[in-house]
Amino acid sequence: MTKQRTQPAPLPPEETMRRAVAMRDTRYDGRFVYGVVTTGVYCRPSCASRPANPANVRFFTDPVSAAAAGFRACKRCRPDSAQDGSVSLMQDLAKYIETHADEPLSLGRLAAQVHWSPAHVQRTFKAVLGVSPKAYQDAARLRRLKIGLRAGRSVLDSVNDAGFQSTSRIYGHTPRNLGMSPSKYRAGGAGETIAYAFRQTVLGPLLMAATDLGVCFAQFGVAEHTLVAQLRAEFPQADVIASAMTHSPELDAWIEAFEAHIAGTAPRPDVSLDLRGTAFQIRIWQFLLKAPTGRVMSYGEIAAGIGTPRAVRAAAAACAANRIAVLVPCHRVLRGDGGLGGYRWGLERKRALLDRERVPRIEAAVAG
């Protein structure tokens, strides 16, 4: 079946395009290309080539349209390259959102900022950054909220400074990212109990910790005290306790199941997880959780799997930000060329985990 090509956004007014070409305005790269009749070449608006006679210039929505009209791509500005000015433009727009996160940012206002149509901004921003402009602003507001709370500001002041319209919206939506109410987060987790258990495993020292919502931390390290220090850094005032049967029997059971899993003698334990991150990060982690055990994927496949095929680097960054080793199986993500790529807990551990997960598949193939 032939895949249908998405309809390109309409061309800007001709006067606007001619001005963009004359000024070599990078903001319009990706919005249109122009061809020069006398040379048979088409270029980006920002191309540094010698200005053409305006009478010989033709405008097209995209490289495909220009090529269909008989023009060939400029070797200087490479308008047929997948990388265009829209990437840097959307990155600049993301910085604008960060700076103005506390203000109402309609899609129309963002579109006016880059001189694009709202639909084109929505589509391109999501393709480049991996999330919609609104989701990006929500994440920026949450970061502001956390900074204010950690600095000791009141909940009300922190909420207002972050740009949330009311405290009810905070209490209704942010606990899944903060892992607790804003007042508890402001106090550095005061009043919150986080139980942890430490084990020497076949893959080295491991610390697992859980809130009432589920496992929030599972990391390998050098020693128990360094891992506990990492845990306390997130919640400096929380009641961080070593797990005991009287306090958290579930955590002991979970970590025993976890250890059996990484030793290759049991499936991945079915435990509740307390995922904390940006909207995009959580989408990546949830996608990994749904993948069949033992299946390896590339960063590109993951980005495409959540509907953002151009957000490969963002997908890799989300895997690197994962705090819950093995249970959120970022070790199964490889580079596009099949190489191991990175792993925050060391490539030897990544290789060992992949090798252990391949064994059941090999045994099943032999048995079949």
Please identify which of the residues 47, 74, 77, 330 carries the catalytic annotation: 330
| Crossing angle for the helix pair 107-114 and 118-129, to the nearest 10 degrees | 90
Within 10 Å of residue 94's Cβ, how many Cβ atoms?
Answer: 18
Within 10 Å of residue 304's Cβ, how many Cβ atoms?
Answer: 16
Whether 295 contacts 334, CB under 8 Å? no
Tokens of 3: 């895949």
Q: What share of residues in the chain are helix, strand, coil (percent, to 5)?
A: 50, 15, 40
Examine the residue annotation and report whether 77 is marked as an active-site residue of this protein: no
- Using CA atoms, how far apart are residues 350 and 361, in angstroms rounded to an integer? 18
Q: How far is CA 77 from the centre of its chain?
A: 29
- Using CA atoms, how far apart are residues 191 and 170, in angstroms rounded to an integer? 19
Tokens of 269: 């334990």
Listed residue (251, 229, 179, 217) closest to 324, CA to CA: 217
Tokens of 247: 């306090």
Whether 351 contacts 340, CB under 8 Å? yes
Whether 220 contacts 331, CB under 8 Å? no
Whether 9 contacts 61, CB under 8 Å? yes
φ/ψ (deg, to 5) at 265:
-110, 0
φ/ψ (deg, to 5) at 31:
-90, -30
Please identify which of the residues 43, 74, 216, 319 carries the catalytic annotation: 43
Report which residue type is found at 141.
Answer: R
- Using CA atoms, how far apart are residues 23 and 115, in angstroms rounded to an integer? 15
Name the one residue in this structure whose structure tokens are 């922190």: 158
Examine the residue annotation and report whether 330 is marked as an active-site residue of this protein: yes
Whether 148 contacts 137, CB under 8 Å? no
Active site residues: 43, 330
